[in-house]
Amino acid sequence: MATEFHNLQELRHSASLATKVFIQRDYSDSTICKFQTKFPAELDSRIERSLFEVTMKTLNCYYAEAEKIGGQSYLEGCLACATAYIIFLCMETRYEKILKKISMYIQEQNEKVYAPRGLLLTDPIERGMRVIEISIFEDSGSTSSSSSGSSPTSSTAQ
Amino acid sequence: MMKNREYQQIDPQALATPTPTPPPRPLPEHKPKRARRKWEVFPGKNRFYCNGRIIVARQSGVLPLTLGLILLTSGLFFVFDCPFLVKHLTSCIPAIGGVLFVFVVISLFQTSFTDPGILPRATPEEAADIEKQIDNPTGSSSSYRPPPRTKEVIINQQVVKLKYCFTCKIFRPPRTSHCSLCDNCVERFDHHCPWVGNCVGKRNYRFFYTFVVSLSFLTAFIFGCVTTHLALSFHTYLVAANLTTNEDIKGSWSGKSGNEDVGNPYSYNSMIKNCCSVLCGPMPPSLIDRRGFVPSDDSVQTSPVEIELPAAKNDINMCTHGTKGLLETASRSPLLTSSCPQAKPQAAPAFLEPLPEVTPSPALEPAKTTAGRQSTNTPHKHHSHHRSKGKQASHHTHKTSNSSPRPHHSHSSRRKDSKNRDPKFSSLR
């Protein structure tokens, strides 16, 4: 099963979407961007818990760094205020730079970890930073089309 | 290979119906002819410009009014106040004003045209997942019952309820509120500001604050400059210097001939005193008596006689005229009545009495000699009577300046020309 999909292209070719799992936001630390690290039941047979937790924790670290209030953010904020925020038109903010890093990390994780297991991580920025969407694919070529842990209504959820 | 290619979200629709065409080539039958941007299908009540770069609320509110007021006030300031103040003070004034104006306009545009922190609405899968999670605890699969409206979370040891938004189909994050005017959930929602025509939220609050603060500074700056302009203006200067326009133009006190010692003699040398005297001094009455009546012809002849009475040289004329007639006119003189209020009831009848019973008295002799011009007896008789009455009248005269035993002397002392003094009239004073 793990070697069934070598890359995302193969996933696209032969897989059919079974269900989607949504990792919700964790608001225990106020409104900063942080996702729950609770392992969803639907992924129980798909991926190791440790790999999932590493991915989640790394993403949370990235977001914490982006939203960190420190020297660099103060400098950027004061400079922007002094120039009537015109520099935002010229340069990329620190948050945007880290979002690019996150996007690259998710792509890398998808290629190395999740795609071979028939999973696909969606960048939270595509979903308004509300959820991390994990798509679970089933091999359309396989006879056993039953998806693990999915509800009968998943196919009509599109 | 995959690392070089930009990562794209796999379309579930495309995956559901796999096609035989190779993946790198786009699938024309699944993609529309013109790729639409997300702003074109945005569900909220917003308007977009510059191909989605600029976002405003559907109701622009009074943003044009706000902008118009700022431009008008600043324009008037730059056109009318700045040239005067640059000449009299410093050229920094338009520079500072310009910087503030630029700050105000830029921060206003940024507040109005920036996404305030709109949360995109949930995808159908997401909404279904939320409903599924809510229905799970009950065990029933009824889809007609709406999901519970709140979800409790603990934030910093405090319970916070998250509300479910039926429009956006999400549980709103903390401090997020749904704006009914924009029909969007906005993160860290502050308020919907009609002056800027947009919501104020997490992403544009700093622009809004900069706008408000810089606008306050600009308003205060313009107000200060206008006040300074008025203070330095022409007539305020004249009032403070106690000058007239005529004097200022002619340079009466400013040393037109190069003499610096010439100063305004009317100035109190204090701005406040000058202002007080010019603006708050006593109001003089009108001298032209606009509503008075023009006098008729009969009263024209008597008036010169009354006027001539106090004059010194008129005494000579008085001697030649009838004494009684003169005494009658004298009684009507305002000088007589005003100078001797206490003697009025006594003096008036005293002078109007017929005087034939007057007998010459020894006191008359020195009066004769001092008078020097009495030629008829009648005046003497009158004189003696007058002198006796004059003694009484002299006591009531409050203008007596010396304590001479002779009453006529006391009266005559007020007169400048002693030679023309007539004792007949000494008591009249």
The secondary structure of B241-265 as a DSSP string is: HT--HHHHHHTTTTTTTS-TT---T
What pLDDT band is residue A11 in, cutting at 50, 70 and 90?
low
- Cβ–Cβ under 8 Å, residues B106 and A85: yes
Question: Alpha helices of B251-313 — where are they, by DSSP H?
Answer: 271-280, 299-308
Residue B140 has pLDDT above 60, yes or no: no
Show the tokens assigned to B145. 């019952």
Pair B268, B274: CB distance under 8 Å: yes
Select from A125, A27, A22 the least CA-distant residue to B9.
A125
Q: How far apart are CA B412 and CA B398, in angstroms?
A: 14
CA dihedral (B214, B219, B220, B225) in degrees, to 10, reads 120
The answer to whether residue B429 scores a pLDDT higher than 50 is no
Q: Report which of B116, B111, B59, B83 is spatially closest to residue B215, judged by C-alpha positions.
A: B111
Residue B107 to residue A84, Cβ atoms within 8 A: yes
User: Over pLDDT 70: what percentage of chain B?
Assistant: 56
With an 8 Å Cβ cutoff, is B132 touching chain A?
yes
Please give the share of chain A, as a percent, with pLDDT higher than 90.
44
Decide if A127 and B14 are in contact by the 8 Å CB cutoff. Answer: no
- Measured CA to CA, the distance from residue B205 to residue B196 in angstroms comes to 12
Contact B97, B77 (CB under 8 A): yes
B313-364 pLDDT, tens digit per residue, is: 454 555 555 555 555 555 555 444 444 444 444 444 444 445 445 454 444 4
Higher model confidence: residue B170 or residue B322? B170
Q: Which two tokens stand for residue B365?
A: 């002799």
Q: For residue B49, give the 3-state DSSP assignment.
A: strand
pTM of the model: 0.60
CA distance A91 to chain B (A): 16
User: Residue A60, SS3?
Assistant: helix
Provide the mean pLDDT of chain B: 72
Residues B364, B380: contact at Cβ < 8 Å? Answer: yes
Q: Considering only A61-65, B92-96, B119-123, B412-416, which range has the smallest mean pLDDT? A: B412-416
Question: Rounded distance, CA B207 to CA B210, Å?
Answer: 5
Residue of B16, B126, B153 lying closest to A131 (CB–CB): B126
The 10s digit of each residue's pLDDT in B215-252 is 999 999 999 999 888 877 877 888 889 999 899 888 88
Q: Could you tell me the sign of the dihedral formed by the alpha carbons of B162, B168, B169, B170, in that order?
A: negative
pLDDT at A155: 43
d(CA B84, CA B98): 16
Chain A, nearest residue to B107 by Cα: A84
Angstrom distances, CA of residue B140 to CA of A154, B6, B126, B383, B408: 17, 44, 19, 140, 134
More confident residue, B88 or B116: B116
Q: Using the predicted structure, report yes or no on whether residue B392 has a pLDDT greater than 80.
A: no
pLDDT at residue B345, as a whole number:
45
**From A72-86, B116-130, B337-351, the region with the lowest mean pLDDT:** B337-351
ipTM rounded to 2 decimals: 0.78
Which pLDDT does position B113 carry in this prediction?
92
